[in-house]
Structure 1
Amino acid sequence: MNRSKGERGSASIEVAMGVPAIALFLALVILGGRIALAQQAVQAAAANAARTASLARTQADARSQAQHAANRVLANQGVHCTPATITIDTSQFTRPPGTPALVTASITCRLTATDLGLPGPTSFTVTAHQTSSIDTYRGR
C-alpha cells in the first residue's frame, strides 16, 4: 500500500507531538510517587518522634530525643525537607503521676521537585501529626 504524497512526514510530526505528552505524563507519575513516599516518611517520623518523646524522663530530654528521632527517620527515608519544622508538644509532662498524659509530634516538610521540569508550582508541603501516651504511673 502506498501513501499519497500529502501524508509524507506525518509520522515524524505525530512522534514530535506525542513525546512531550508522554514525558509530561511520566513526570506527573514520578511527582505523585514522590508525594506519596514523602507523606509516608513524614508520618513515620512523627510516629517515631512521639513514641520517643513519650519514653523520655523529662520534658527537655523528650524534645531533644524526639527531634533527633524525627530527623533520623527523614534522613533514612531519603526525604530532604527545605526546611523541616518539627514541633514536640510536651506540655502534659507536668501532670502528676496517675493522671493520663500525651505527647504530640507535628512535622511539616516542604519538598521541591524542580528536577522534574514540570510547569507550575515546583514545591509541595507534607504534614503529619502523631500522639503517644505517657505511662500514667511513671514518675515524671
Structure 2
Amino acid sequence: MRRRRDAERGSMSLETAVVAPALLALLALIIIGGRVALAHQAVESAAAEAARSASIARTQGEAGAQAEASAWAALDNEGLHCSSRSVAVDTSGFAAPAGTPASVSATVTCVVNLAGLQVPGVGPQTITKTMTSALDTYRER
C-alpha cells in the first residue's frame, strides 16, 4: 500500500501545472469577450443617440453638428476610450418635402485598443454601428 501513495505523490502538482495555463487563457478570453461586447454596446448606443439628435434638429447643418456632439457625449458617458473615432451622418432626408416619410442615419466608428490586456495577438478592434431615426413626416424641413 505504501508504494501506491508514493507513485501518486506528485500527480496533483503536475495536474495543476498542466491545467492552470489553460484556465488562465480561458479567463483572458472571457475578459476580452466582455470588453468587446461592452464596446459594441457603447458604440451602438452612441449611434442611436446621434441619429435621434439629428432627427430632432431643425436644419440639415444643425443635424450633423448635434449628432456628432451627442455621439461624443454618449461615448464619454459610457467610459469608452477610443484611440480613433468618427461620426458620419446622412441627412439627405431633410431634402424630402414635408408629408413624405424620411429618416436620418448616423454611423459611429470607434477603434478600441485592447492591447492593454497583455494577451498576445490582441490589438486594436474597429467597431462600427449605424442607426436610423425617422424624421417627423409633417414637420417643415
Distance 1:69 1:56 in 2: 12
Alignment correspondent of 1:60: 61
Alignment correspondent of 1:41: 42
Alignment correspondent of 1:106: 107
Matched, 1:115 2:116: yes
Alignment correspondent of 2:27: 26
Unaligned residue ranges in structure 1 (runs of 5+): none
1:23: how far off? 1.4
Amino acid at match of 1:69: S
Amino acid at match of 1:37: L
Q: What SS does structure 1 have at the residue aligned with 2:40?
A: helix
Matched, 1:96 2:97: yes
Distance 2:63 2:55 in 1: 7
1:7: how far off? 5.0
Q: CA RMSD in A?
A: 1.7
1:121: how far off? 3.4
Distance 2:15 2:111 in 1: 38
Q: TM-score, normalised by structure 2?
A: 0.88
Unaligned residue ranges in structure 2 (runs of 5+): none
Alignment correspondent of 2:52: 51
1:126: how far off? 1.8
* Bigger shift: residues 112-121 or 28-37: 112-121
